[in-house]
Structure 1
Amino acid sequence: MNKAHLHALIIAKLEADLHTAQVALQTAYEAATHEENVAENKYDTLGLEAGYLAHGQSRRVAEIEQALAAYRNLPLRDFDAQQGIQLSALVLLESDSGHRRQLFLGPDGAGLKVQFGDAEIMTITPRSPMGQSLLGKAPGDVVLVNGQESEVIAVS
């Protein structure tokens, strides 16, 4: 599997998410500052609510920008059996029930999903329980997260 291509897909997804969040921020800002939303009495809270929404959207934009910068500066490393799974590893896991999933251990943006060929790959971070349990592991090792065992099948 070509990790450089996967890396580019993750960056493209983050860029698309950033654009969407910026549009939502602009819309919320315009609603918060529109002259028709000026409160006429203490019960008229439309402008205040729009302001809270704009604040939340601005935080979301900042989070995506941070994740995007982290991925743009992420060096892609080949798997080193001595170090085990580290940042930028692409991991294939199989549960006891035979369910397989692919994870990319990235610096930020946990939960982001990208379609890579026929596979859906989800990003996780070393701060997550799954990321913590994977660090240092190698193919054949078993990880336990939330009471569920999964075997590391492959790492690249």
Structure 2
Amino acid sequence: MNKPLLLAQIVATLERDLDVLTRAAQTAYETATAEENVAENKYDTLGLEASYLATGQARRSAEIRQALLGYQQLLLRDYDPQRGVQVSNLITLEDEKGARQQLFLGPAAAGLKIAEGTQATTVITPRSPLGQQLIGKRVDDEVTLAAHTLVIVAAT
């Protein structure tokens, strides 16, 4: 997978997620403030529950908006063997059994998976345990995570 295409897919996914979440937050807000949902007694909590939901969705929307901004401003850099792995590198790891996984070290949106054909790329950040270990590593370096040894076999 090439990095410009991957970056475009990450941005598109975050834009879709933001749109869906914004609409859901608006619906929850409307439910929370609807006149028919005013509590009639202490056990009538529909409006209160909807307001909690709207608040949580608004916070999540802000997080996605921030991640989207980070990716829209991200400068893609090629892997530099002198500096090792850095943010915006696409990394292929191989475990001791030969199984490979492709990771994109991005500024945010950890856990996001972008699929192209049968290959999936997982977004990780420098704040994750694996991301922390990868920063500055070079091709053929080893990293250990949860008793698994992984070798960096490629980086772009």
SS in 2 for 1:53: helix
Q: Residues 104-123 of structure 1 correspond to what in structure 2 (within 5 A)? A: 104-123=104-123
| Distance in 1 between residues matched to 2:32 and 2:146, nearest whole Å | 42
CA distance in 2, matches of 1:81, 1:101: 20
1:60-118 per-residue CA deviation (whole Å, 9 max, x = no partner) reads 10000000000011100011000000000000011112221100000011001111243
Structure 2: gaps (5+ residues)? none
Question: What amino acid sits opposite 1:46 in the alignment?
Answer: L
Identity %: 56
Classify the secondary structure of the residue corresponding to 1:78. coil
Residue 70 (structure 2) aligns with: 70
Counterpart check, 1:133 vs 2:136: no
CA distance in 2, matches of 1:97, 1:53: 44
The answer (yes or no) to whether the contact 1:105–1:131 under 8 Å persists in 2 is yes
Partners of 1:35 and 1:99 lie apart in 2 by 57
Matched residues, number: 156
Question: For 2:95 and 2:127, how far apart are their aligned partners in 1?
Answer: 21
Are 1:28 and 2:2 counterparts?
no
State the partner residue of 1:45. Answer: 45
Matches within 5 A, 1:10-21: 10-21=10-21
- Greater displacement, 29-38 / 61-70: 29-38
Aligned-partner Cα distance in 2 for 1:118–1:132: 28
Q: Does 1:61 align with 2:61?
A: yes
Matched residues in 2 for 1:134 and 1:71: separation?
A: 20
C-alpha RMSD over aligned residues: 0.9
Q: What SS does the aligned partner of 2:75 have?
A: coil
AA aligned opposite 1:126: P
Moved over 2 A (4+): none
Q: 1:93 is matched by which residue type in structure 2?
A: L
SS of the residue corresponding to residue 53 of structure 2 reads helix
**Match in the other structure for 1:102:** 102
Structure 1 residue 43 displacement after superposition: 1.2
